[in-house]
Amino acid sequence: MTLKPVAERGASQSVKAILGIRDLVFSGDVLPGERLSEITISEQLGLSRTPVRAALARLEQEGILEMIPSGGYAVRSFTEADIGDAIELRGVLEGTAARLAAERGVAPARLSTLHGLMVELDLIVSAPLDEFDFQAYIARNQDFHEILKGLCGSEMVRRELDRVMSLPFAGPSAFIEAQAEIPQCHAALVIAQSHHRAILNAIEMREGGRAEALAREHARLARHNLDYVIENRKLMKKVPGLFLVKG
């Protein structure tokens, strides 16, 4: 058997620790305000304490955990305003990514990939609501936003977008499963897809200001969905991590 290099094994353990702790937090296995035990988490995830300790520090930087006076970390709780701010920040950063991509230009091959993705999304959203494939939409929607993050070639913009989207309710697909029970769901997804196409067109036409404005408007759709879900609290269980909201 060929062993992985030590650095590679360490990196994979760190990723496993981060993903494992996120899952514990977002699934509700650990409640807001509850202290996280390195020993317990290490046993649950089958990892040593070193990657778990590093993962806890990383998740505190991302804003999911908070340091407590007695030492260690606890699960954060959030206000509705916190979530709104996270969504707004995502819009600002995605708007910046779209503007820079338009101003700097994008290789034809990457634009072709996005056009192919638009065709797939068009087919998905054209289906009647009772036949709508939400999982396919979530996958292709995530593909669009993942490509958009790197389209301008800025590692700094990508890194900051990764950070804000690490919050469970700030990602572009956070509210899609809850939308299945929103009466205006299908119309909202059609509007979202029209935004995708318009953002791509603005980038392709090198219209930076328009691309930025469209990306920011697109993120505000998530804010509208947030307001609806908060008002209809039975839907909150369909948004991973939203139970962390106070109230």
pTM exceeds cut of 0.75: yes
Question: What pLDDT is attached to residue 26?
Answer: 78
Between 1.10.1040.10, 3.30.70.3040, 3.90.1150.50, 1.10.10.10, what CATH number should domain 6-75 receive?
1.10.10.10
Count CA within 13 A, CB hemisphere, residue 243.
15
What is the C-alpha to C-alpha distance for residues 134 and 125, in angstroms, rounded to an integer? 9
User: 80-244 architecture in CATH?
Assistant: Up-down Bundle (1.20)
Q: Taking the CB of residue 56, how many other CB atoms lie within 10 A of it?
A: 22
Q: Across the 247 residues of the chain, what is the mean pLDDT of every consecutive 10-residue run?
A: 43 84 82 88 92 91 86 86 88 97 96 96 89 88 94 94 81 69 73 96 98 95 78 66 70
User: For the chain, what are the domain ranges?
Assistant: 6-75, 80-244
Task: To the nearest 10°, report the CA torsion of 53, 14, 57, 151.
Answer: 180
Q: Beta 35-36 vs 65-67: how paired, if at all? A: unpaired
Both structure tokens of 125: 């959203």
Question: What pLDDT is attached to residue 178?
Answer: 59
